[in-house]
Structure 1
């Protein structure tokens, strides 16, 4: 039998492989079947990972890029499959992650006829893929379009979309003649070495040397500059605060590490930002602008590889466009060390007091289990080589305030889009990129019910392929969309809306066991430590269903947000009057948390 002629789909898959793609995430459908057949025939050159839903496939592609670097790839058919990809692609856009989406389309001959599943894909993806979107209408385009999609995704750190009509996928592979109308292309991308100008370095150094109370705000742009951040902070005697996405890149065991900033952040971070007289922002675009230094309080220097980010969240006096690590080294070389001992002592004292606050919060008695205690207990059991995937919701607060990541342990979340449901898809991508590393997925019941229950099926289908089967899913089960419940109280001054906030009970542990995984249900604080140990000792993925108390308050740091407490109190009083079952307990717990913070000086801020 003669060898089958190569077609456009074969060229696409070959090009993916040459760009270093080892797996693509997606779901099948007639509009993309040509590409899927080429993947099948590639003998593992590019693996196909079937998700339960295209949204989750897109989250997995984002996770691939976040955990492993490089470009994540998502695949879907036209129509509903394409629509489903949007949420995950927006996650990539807002967190600035390179992803390429390959999307099928109906035959060229029927486009414009209102054919089945025909939608205007260019319009649909025009915003999320604003840096590059192309439709392949002839075989000769294929290498050029794929190459440009990857280069655009890498250069802009955002999604690129390639639309491939069904009939084009089976066209013969192009010859690529050297003639007019044919654009040659190559698989190549080089990142530029960007260095801040010397005069800007000198200006920034002068500003920082004049400060007596310097602080650093560290974001995910400092991922390649962990040691340089620590060295400069020590050199300056600065306090270090992180964005949510920057948390994995600062060792929070350091005496000057004040933790995550913002509404979900630590008391220490709010105090350091409220007291500093100079702020160095390193690779951060954190949106919690009300927690930045007040206008006129602090002079600001910002380092970012992207000039568009300079001054994006806070007024900046000196912007340094360049690689974070190289710029930090240059800054340190230009700064004569003269740290203010009173400030370094103040930062260390603030950090120590925060540690006492967080420890006492975890000890507050709750109905069933205090979620802060459950998260804090993980510190004694998280493997040193683990990877952490975080879903969105109140669990992010407990992660930010109670979990101290070992050096080198990555943790990722849908940070800027803040999309519920990213947890298990991210965790799967982490595991597939490094099957020999254990994974922890930390999720609320909202995320589990939105996408997690479906993707546990994927975990059950794939875990036997993993070199290390440990994949621990902790479900913080409070049967409430707790973050929104507390937002309603705080931001609207409105009582919790039962019909919108209550979640049905689900036996997550039983579901796991039904699928052949390990599962355990916890309802007592006495069981937490042993349960974490058993989960990590299990010979297969394990689901811990942790019954937690929705009345535990999502209290913002009082140093920066004390006035919001009155609205919380007012809303809880209204709930109590309406007979809301958890209102009285929530009121008691709110006052207990406030008392802990006040006793440890959580409201203290030095005047400038």
Structure 2
């Protein structure tokens, strides 16, 4: 039975189904430390080495489980350090609740310590932020925070002064005096647009002769409906990075990612289509979408605020992706003319051949594209994949070929450095029997990931699980003299010092073999590849402004000649076969 406010908050989180809280208790929420001990691991406190990582772990938990991730910060100073992870969650519409400690109420306003205005601090990132000023509030503040995070798919914050945590809990407020009696649970909103809107959307899609579909994370769970709609419309499907795992890449009409790090089939299909169906994405980059007036657009999104926010939409359908598509598909007419669809599938097949040729090109150090390509044939079923922002995102997005049942996520909107490692740790704790592989930028590993290797070592038995792979693949770049060299610190050797398994690879001939060694290790592994810094991501087509900015940066880069040569060779691989434009 809960006796103090700290115990009551944990008990209430348990009623909401929370089984894990990521945080670093300290003086501000010291009362939580004892409460977690009394809770007996339900919920469990997972202690990362850095407060920033706690918020990223909560965001990773929410991304992969679909539930609300919960993190905790000890005091005002720690609260500031939560912000990166909370913004990551907020911008990618991921539900996270943060419990934040505060100085004792008696000392507030005295100016004698690190006093921070926490409500203003969280006002931009949080959908909901409140201070628990009295024990009677704890119940409904936790309920409202969980409810808001889940319903709004955003961040909610509960601030608890240290002395309130230690007070005796009020589990049932007394009736009267405007007491609040909140409950647990929030039903999922699954709206379906009205029939007239579905008919208007079908009329637009039926008239199109070159239909393209663009999907994002809001389409997750609607895979069968998307496949059926694409078949009826003779369409191909491009994927925003946050929707990387909505459909498997094995489907011949799935063109892969879109945007700067996207594929050429996605680029050509979307920019050449006469009709575009957008499902569950707020993809923000207009230069990779049809020019205004060049295509008719139908958009499906559960949030009406996102419809027409990126591209003018002729018909907007505010509703759940799967249910809306089920209502729409019977109204669609099968397109017997399949030249557009055949062209898409031929271009996809050619693109995978281009990627294979690019991956097999040789450079002074390992070609990073080869690292991703060699993993394809070795990806375990049901693997969970995470990725850091940066060049490594391109290898993860383009060269990995996802199969049915695989999950993938990254910090899409914020592009938060160092997020891949905490995402992977959270994914493994949530799914102990599933393989987990993180693509980690070498500099991010040195800045942030090394700290969390201590976390991995501390939870080694838990993270080893049933022996399923847990691999942190670090891309350590090496360039010409004078260039920034992230291979200067031996990451695999650091893993050995932390009591983990470290494997390093500098030989292109051994890339496949070391992947197999890491995947068969049966525990956490840091697998370090020394890759050529001259191999840089190139967009599917280069526009004038991009070329000008790239040229300016290139001229000041001491490794510019190596990068130019590598880029020329990559683009040359696209022209070995005759390109087909549909």
Preserved contact between residue 78 and residue 104 of structure 1 (Cα < 8 Å): yes
Equivalent in the alignment of 1:467 = 465
Equivalent in the alignment of 2:139 = 143
1:460-539 mapped onto 2 (5 Å cutoff) = 460-465=457-462, 466-469=464-467, 470-479=469-478, 501-503=484-486, 505-539=488-522
1:244 maps onto 2:221 in alignment:
no
Preserved contact between residue 414 and residue 422 of structure 1 (Cα < 8 Å): yes
Question: Shift of the alpha carbon at 1:586?
Answer: 1.5
Preserved contact between residue 133 and residue 161 of structure 1 (Cα < 8 Å): yes
Q: Secondary structure at the match of 2:488?
A: coil
1:546 maps onto 2:529 in alignment:
yes
Equivalent in the alignment of 1:311 = 308
Identify unmatched segments of 5+ residues in structure 2: none
* Higher mean displacement: 464-473 or 282-291: 464-473
Question: Shift of the alpha carbon at 1:78?
Answer: 1.3
1:277 maps onto 2:274 in alignment:
yes
Q: TM-score, normalised by structure 1?
A: 0.92
1:399-478 mapped onto 2 (5 Å cutoff) = 399-465=396-462, 466-469=464-467, 470-478=469-477
Aligned residues: 579
Distance 1:141 1:219 in 2: 38
1:132 maps onto 2:115 in alignment:
no
Q: 1:46 to 1:338 in 2, by over 3 A?
A: same
Superposed CA deviations along residues 278-325 of structure 1, whole A, max 9, x for unmatched, are: 000010112222101111111000000000110111111100011101
Preserved contact between residue 393 and residue 444 of structure 1 (Cα < 8 Å): yes
Distance 1:27 1:367 in 2: 43
Distance 1:122 1:287 in 2: 29
Aligned with residue 221 of structure 2, among 194, 219, 224: 224
1:14 maps onto 2:5 in alignment:
no
Equivalent in the alignment of 1:153 = 149
Q: TM-score, normalised by structure 2?
A: 0.96
1:52-67 mapped onto 2 (5 Å cutoff) = 52-67=49-64
Equivalent in the alignment of 1:370 = 367
Preserved contact between residue 250 and residue 403 of structure 2 (Cα < 8 Å): no
Distance 2:169 2:185 in 1: 21
Distance 1:53 1:254 in 2: 41
Question: Shift of the alpha carbon at 1:539?
Answer: 2.8
Question: Shift of the alpha carbon at 1:274?
Answer: 1.4
Identify unmatched segments of 5+ residues in structure 1: 481-495
Preserved contact between residue 471 and residue 524 of structure 2 (Cα < 8 Å): yes
Equivalent in the alignment of 1:591 = 568
Superposed CA deviations along residues 331-382 of structure 1, whole A, max 9, x for unmatched, are: 1110111243211121112112211211111111112100001111111111
Question: Shift of the alpha carbon at 1:117?
Answer: 2.5
1:170-209 mapped onto 2 (5 Å cutoff) = 170-174=166-170, 175-209=172-206
1:44 maps onto 2:41 in alignment:
yes
Aligned with residue 168 of structure 1, among 152, 164, 167: 164
Preserved contact between residue 275 and residue 605 of structure 1 (Cα < 8 Å): no
Equivalent in the alignment of 1:561 = 543
Superposed CA deviations along residues 520-541 of structure 1, whole A, max 9, x for unmatched, are: 1111110001000010111321
Aligned with residue 385 of structure 2, among 388, 400, 414: 388
RMSD, aligned α-carbons: 1.9
1:337-352 mapped onto 2 (5 Å cutoff) = 337-352=334-349
